[in-house]
Chains A and B, each alone.
Chain A
Amino acid sequence: QVRLKESGPRLVQPSQTLSVTCTVSGFSVTSYHVSWVRQPPGKGLEWVGAIWKGGSTDYNSALKSRLSISRDTSKNQVFLKMNSLQTDDTGTYYCAKHGRGSYDYWGQGVMVTVSS
């Protein structure tokens, strides 16, 4: 059974670094790409970046300078790190598995608030 679960802090102070972990089961991160998508409260979806099954990455150009996506294949985990957080980084962060032509499985998301 495919599952993705995000974990991380619910509250981050401005200018600090966000670290979120996506733990997957039911598939290998070396066999499928994984993307991060975020959603500010009451707003739409924004693609953050992806780590391809081969290990390379692509990032949203607006976030690229602050963003790093990596993985631990032994633990089947994908990591998102974003530094210099601001209040408009507040939102729900999802990881999603790339499947047959779409993101076929999503995690439940982790709501992150950037506030002092």
Chain B
Amino acid sequence: EIVLTQSPTTMAASPGEKVTITCRASSSVSYMYWYQQKSGASPKPWIYETSKLASGVPDRFSGSGSGTSYSFTISSMETEDAATYYCHQWSSTPFTFGSGTKLEIK
């Protein structure tokens, strides 16, 4: 099973601040996927195939990486970006998720 280690677990950012979340895989994966989840809601696809933005996602979001090391970046934090973000791999079963990063606004 591929374990995804996400960091940080929680963080707070001020409006306009740059945010970076990392996700490390225990084995190489082809792509990384990211989901946004707000309290009481279902997760939403956010970034797919490492760097492609899902429909409706603002371009202040970006993703990068390869092999076992991936990152998720918000170039300029906005209030609406406060949420929990999960990385996810489906290169091999069992598919796995990172433990999540709870991002709060300062």
- A residues lining the B interface (CB < 8 Å): 35, 37, 44-47, 50, 58-62, 94, 99-104, 106-109
The A-B contact count (CB < 8 A) is 55
Near A by CB (< 8 A), chain B positions 54-94 give: 54, 86, 88, 93-94
What is the bound-complex CA distance between A61 and B44, given in angstroms?
Answer: 25
- B residues lining the A interface (CB < 8 Å): 1, 31, 33, 35, 37, 42-45, 48-49, 52, 54, 86, 88, 93-100
What is the bound-complex CA distance between A44 and B102, given in angstroms?
Answer: 10
Q: Which of B48, B49, B88, B94 contacts A58 (CB 8 A)?
A: B94
- Give me 19 A-to-B residue pairs in the complex whose CB atoms sit less than 8 angstroms apart, sorted by A's number: A44-B97, A44-B98, A45-B37, A45-B86, A45-B100, A47-B95, A47-B96, A47-B97, A50-B93, A50-B95, A58-B93, A61-B94, A100-B48, A101-B33, A101-B49, A102-B35, A106-B44, A107-B42, A109-B42
What is the bound-complex CA distance between A92 and B88, given in angstroms?
Answer: 18
CB distance from A55 to the nearest CB of B (A): 16
Given contacts A44-B99, A106-B43, A108-B42, whether A101 and B93 have CB atoms under 8 Å apart is: no
A58 to chain B: which residues have CB within 8 Å? Answer: 93-94
CB distance from B17 to the nearest CB of A (A): 24
What is the bound-complex CA distance between A109 and B100, given in angstroms?
Answer: 19
What is the bound-complex CA distance between A34 and B49, given in angstroms?
Answer: 18
What is the bound-complex CA distance between A7 and B100, given in angstroms?
Answer: 26
A101 touches B48 (CB 8 A): yes
